[in-house]
Amino acid sequence: MATLHGLDDPEVQPLMQKMNADTWDPRIDRNMLRPPERYIYVFTVSPREFVVDRPPLWIKFRLRGCPKGERYALVTRIPDPLMQKVHNTDTGKFRGEAHDGLRCTIDLLNPNNPTNDPDWNAAPEMAAYFSTSRGSDLFAQGLFVSLNPTPSEEEIRRAEQRRERYYRALMAQADELEATDRPGLQAMLKGEEGTDLRMALDYFGEQREYHKPMVPTIDCPNCGEPIKKNMAFHKSTALGGMLCILDWQKAVMAGVKNKSDVPEELRWWGEEAPVKRAVARPRPS
């Protein structure tokens, strides 16, 4: 009869230790191999992607952004407890250490937050945004945690509110710099916050002198002036302010030209269709 040797088997243990002495302590705590009790789900409402690099727990950990057209996206799920491989400097071996999954997740999203409340320290938030640790609060960016694989409406809404609060604070700061400290504004635009500031302006549909929506232009095939793509007609400086028509049908529909203005060869309507004559039905015989 075959015998299954467990890791704590008196015969197996010395052999395993001998073979793995430098790399791994084979006397494995079975808690390390236990399935997690639950998962902490991380979601985002921000299109921005983040990389958290804070070893040993988070090594170049990529947190994806919310795809266009979606309200929120699942970023990752953190097991609870979260096991960490810890180097024992006395023995040179590794051992496992169990951490509270929720605490680790909160720390991942905001290392300044020592609590389990994502909204902790709400009152001095302005100081937190603009202090030396600025930029490390991903809750403010729209990331959020839930104990459920599908977040509740309330959880999504609060994440959206946190993001909006951060964006408003950024815009207020940029407006103040624009009025009082132009080099300061330039520095802000070049940095990480510049990315967020532009996202904030787009989010609220706001424009500033330094941030205007960019529209690709083409050269008009008629007059050669730069125009927006897919324009049916435009006022042309090259033609002395005259309307330059690219699509006569649309120009007539928009009421800027009459049907009689349309060049013969471009008339899309044919001769009036002849009135249909009633066809005599064959009489039943």
Give Cα 86 to chain centroid, integer Å: 33
Kindly indicate which of the ranges 26-34, 72-80, 235-243, 250-258 contains the residues binding Zn ion, using the contact rule CB under 5 A. 235-243
CB nearer Zn ion, residue 177 or residue 231: 231
By the 10 Å C-beta count (0-12 exposed, 13-18 middle, 19+ buried), 276 is classed as exposed
Binding test (CB under 5 A) with Zn ion, winner from 184, 222, 247, 250:
222
Q: Does 245 sit near Zn ion (CB under 5 A)?
A: no
Separation between Cα atoms, residue 204 and residue 228, nearest integer Å: 23
Count of residues of this chain found to bind Zn ion when the rule CB under 5 A is applied:
5
Closest distance of CB 234 from Zn ion, Å? 6
CB nearer Zn ion, residue 32 or residue 232: 232
Closest distance of CB 236 from Zn ion, Å? 5
6: DSSP letter: P
Closest distance of CB 218 from Zn ion, Å? 10
Kindly indicate which of the ranges 128-136, 167-175, 182-190, 222-230 contains the residues binding Zn ion, using the contact rule CB under 5 A. 222-230
279: DSSP letter: P
Q: Does 84 sit near Zn ion (CB under 5 A)?
A: no
Closest distance of CB 220 from Zn ion, Å? 3
The token pair that represents 139 in the structure block? 């809750």
Binding test (CB under 5 A) with Zn ion, winner from 75, 220, 245, 251:
220
Cβ 46 vs Cβ 66: under 8 Å: yes
Kindly indicate which of the ranges 5-13, 88-96, 123-131, 213-221 contains the residues binding Zn ion, using the contact rule CB under 5 A. 213-221
Q: How many residues does the chain have?
A: 285
Spell 228-254 as b/e; 16+ CB within 10 A means b.
eeeeebbebeeeeeeebbbebbebbee
Cβ 85 vs Cβ 104: under 8 Å: no
* Amino acid present at 116: N
Binding test (CB under 5 A) with Zn ion, winner from 137, 236, 248, 252:
236
Closest distance of CB 219 from Zn ion, Å? 9
Q: Half-sphere exposure of 20 toward its Cβ, with a 13 Å CA cutoff?
A: 15
Kindly indicate which of the ranges 12-20, 197-205, 214-222, 272-280 contains the residues binding Zn ion, using the contact rule CB under 5 A. 214-222
Q: Does 248 sit near Zn ion (CB under 5 A)?
A: no
Separation between Cα atoms, residue 199 and residue 258, nearest integer Å: 44
Q: Does 244 sit near Zn ion (CB under 5 A)?
A: yes
Q: Does 232 sit near Zn ion (CB under 5 A)?
A: no
Report the run of H or E that residue 19 belongs to, with start and end: helix 12-19
- Nearest CA to 173 out of 134, 212, 141 is that of 134
Closest distance of CB 225 from Zn ion, Å? 5
Q: Which residues of the shown chain bind Zn ion in the complex (CB under 5 A)?
A: 220, 222-223, 236, 244
